[in-house]
Structure 1
Amino acid sequence: MSNARKVSRQHLVSQVLLKRFTMLGAAGSGWQLIPFDLDHPDRHHKLKGPRECGWIQDFVAFDSGSVEDLWRQVENQAREAFDAVDAGTPFDNPDHAEILRDLVVLHLVRSHRYQKVHRDAFVKVREDVLHGLTQGYTDELRRVARRETGLHLTGPQALGAFAERLIESSEPAQDHVSGKLFRVSIEEMFQKVRAKVASWQLEVISPQQGQFLIGDTPAITLRRDNGGTQYGMAVGDATTIVLPIGPYHLIALGPQNRTFQVPKALVDELNAVQILAATRYVYFHPRSGLETFVNDGVRARSGR
């Protein structure tokens, strides 16, 4: 990998996907949608274009150019698959289902949620290593400290500080700081999840009434059972992964390729999950009339 080309402004929600929630604005304003700030629901939510929404600064800080190229390979094929969905022929070309499945995986992995999972895992490993060194290798730590500093460390506080210094100077810790570890991890996770769901089929869902909205963490694992709908579990524990791809279509990975409509109650439930899973923003069509629904969802979200 090369760090020669840096892309700082990185979309976690693809522009090609966000554009499907837009309408053509006033003269010269282009295609626009509503970005609703869940942290400030009472604020006036100005219309914005897809380029201004769904992005984060330096999400992948290391070798960002090459990882953006990887995502673009999926995103560049999405328009043709979207056209097939809109025409009611999503399965006429088998490639379209594969492209849409990859789009689901891309948004599941390239997400705020996965970034947090990665960071939490690194912190846990670091804590385990520190505990292991200070509890199981105290004599070795003292010898290394004496050799490197000339000091004879005795107390647990001094040994702990020296162990932390050793960990921080290690290659994995340095790679974590630079972002290299996350860069490698996110691509490996994309390929791993992609392989895991390769045999899952594609469901194309349309609302009988109402519209779908999309959050800033839009690909969501779901499990439905007698206890209701749960979200955010590991892929292996989920019964489906959903991704809205426009006001009138949502795709879900399931046991068979099919298209079907769902009642407004289920549309509302799926929209509510988008609100709950979002980090800060949800996006919707300017004429969807979803502002009141999202405001109600903010109250439910505050009780998570």
Structure 2
Amino acid sequence: MGTAQETSRQHLVSKVLLEEFTAPEPKGSSQQLLPFDLHHPGRVHKRMHPSRCGWIENFVAVDSASVEALWSNTERRVKAAIAAVRAGAPFADPLHVGVLRDLVVLHYVRSLHYRDVHADSVERARAHLVAKVVSQYSEQLRLEALRETGLYLSGPASLGAFAERLIDRSTIMRDRESGKLFRTSIEDTFHKMRDLASKRRLEVITPETGQFLIGDNPALTLCVKESRTIYGMAFGDAQTLILPIGPRHLLSLGAEDVALTVPQTFVDRLNALQVHAAHRFVYLHPESGLEPFVERAAQRRPSGDRTR
């Protein structure tokens, strides 16, 4: 394989997954799926080729070739692993099991959800450092401010503002602004989560009836407490991490390698979570008939509440 090239249009949902939700174009030979815009649920939604779906501009803004090569190491092996799932033999080859586990982790890390968590984490660390510097090194701050600006800062607000100014000049904060910090974070997190996920087993879930759909934040951590399904917690606090890989199959990291068949009510519940967790789009097989379900679920999309 050649070296991955820099690209601004970066898929968050792997094209190899989106292709599983396609059907032949009614008057052509290309494969298409149905993107559903949750910001405009009443709109007429048009079929599209998967290459036009599931991407974002400059998700990784710096050295994107590095992470594209990292994702490619998993994605180039996915078709064979999904073919084994469709053939009813997902566990026959341990390499396929490993690839599918990695695919789940990849979509958890390469997501808008993770980008938001990363940004919040950096901002909390910055605020904590500012408070620590002001409380423990106030006199040194005053002297440095006097040296740089000729002003004597007295109150905590002015000291805090100057501390922020100093911290924002640090290498790590410059890396945050450039996007380098996010790139290194996403790569490191992927490797760490692969190691954690390797201790889990793979559940392959198939609907008795109905079909799965996939959102643009498709890999979800889940925990069931007192009959409530909670999603979006840290991986270490979750009971499982799920990912739809086609209309008829969903992966879950669990306690044993097992194939499960679930009723329509369970499928509806997981589909609703995909709608609720999505940033803007969910993607359907064009002949699934799920548009009315998604429209109803879109109207009930929560604001901040992650329990269902």
TM range (shorter): over 0.9
Q: CA deviation at 1:233?
A: 1.2
Structure 1 residues 253 and 302 mapped into 2: Cα distance closer, same or farther (>3 Å)? closer
Give me the whole-angstrom Cα distance separating, in 1, the residues matched to 2:228 and 2:156: 49
1:137-216 superposed matches below 5 A: 137-216=137-216
1:36–1:45 contact (8 Å) kept in structure 2: yes
Paired residue total: 301
CA distance in 2, matches of 1:29, 1:57: 28
1:124 counterpart residue number = 124
Q: Deviations over 1:28-50 (max 9, x none)?
A: 46111111111110111111111
Contact 1:221 1:240 in 2 (8 A): yes
Deviation at 1:146, TM superposition (A): 2.3
Kept in 2, the 8 Å contact 1:12–1:55? The answer is: yes
**2:137 maps to amino acid:** Y
Aligned to 2:277: 277
Matched, 1:111 2:111: yes
State the AA in 1 paired with 2:160.
G
Name the CA distance, whole Å, in 2 between partners of 1:64 and 1:184.
Answer: 11
1:154–1:55 distance in 2 versus 1, CA, 3 Å? same
Task: Describe how 1:48-59 pairs up with structure 2 within 5 A.
Answer: 48-59=48-59
Please list the CA deviations of residues 75-123 of structure 1 after superposition, one character each: whole Å capped at 9, or x if unmatched: 1000000110111111111110100000000001111111000000111
> Deviations 1:107-146 (Å, cap 9, x if unpaired)?
0111111100000011111111122222332210111122
Q: Tell me the equivalent position of 2:68.
A: 68
Mapping of residues 78-97 of structure 1, within 5 Å: 78-97=78-97
Alignment correspondent of 1:40:
40
- Supply the distance in 1 between the matched residues of 2:272 and 2:167 (Cα, whole angstroms): 43
Q: Which amino acid aligns with 2:12?
A: L
**Per-residue displacement from partner, 1:243-294 (whole Å, max 9, x unpaired)?**
1000011111111111121110111111111111111111010000000100
CA distance in structure 2 between the partners assigned to 1:116 and 1:37 by the alignment: 21
Consecutive unaligned residues of structure 1, counting only runs of 5 or more, are: none
Structure 2: how far apart are the matches of 1:16 and 1:141?
54
Whichever residue aligns with residue 295 of structure 2, its letter is N
Name the counterpart of 2:6: 6
- Rate the CA distance shift 1:225–1:160 in 2: closer, same or farther, 3 A: closer
Aligned-residue Cα RMSD (Å) equals 1.5
- What TM-score, normalized to structure 1? 0.95
Residue number in structure 2 paired with 1:236: 236
Q: Secondary structure at the match of 1:260?
A: strand
Unaligned 5+ segments in structure 2 are none
The one-letter code sitting in structure 1 at the alignment partner of 2:10 is Q
CA distance in 1, matches of 2:217, 2:169: 34
1:62 deviation in Å?
1.3
Structure 2 letter corresponding to 1:290 = L
Q: Deviations over 1:202-255 (max 9, x none)?
A: 111111101000000111111124332211111111111111000011111111
**Which amino acid letter does the alignment assign opposite residue 153 of structure 2?**
L
What fraction of aligned residue pairs are identical, expressed as a percent? 52
Contact 1:5 1:63 in 2 (8 A): no
Q: CA deviation at 1:167?
A: 1.3
Shift of 1:157: 4.0
SS of equivalent to 2:279: coil
Match of 1:102 in 2: 102
1:190, distance to aligned residue in structure 2 (A): 0.5
- Check conservation: 1:214, 1:284, Cα contact below 8 A: yes
Secondary structure of the equivalent of 2:144?
Answer: helix
Residue 5 of structure 1 and its aligned partner are, at CA, apart by: 4.9
User: Structure 1 residues 197, 302: closer, same or farther in 2, change over 3 A?
Assistant: closer
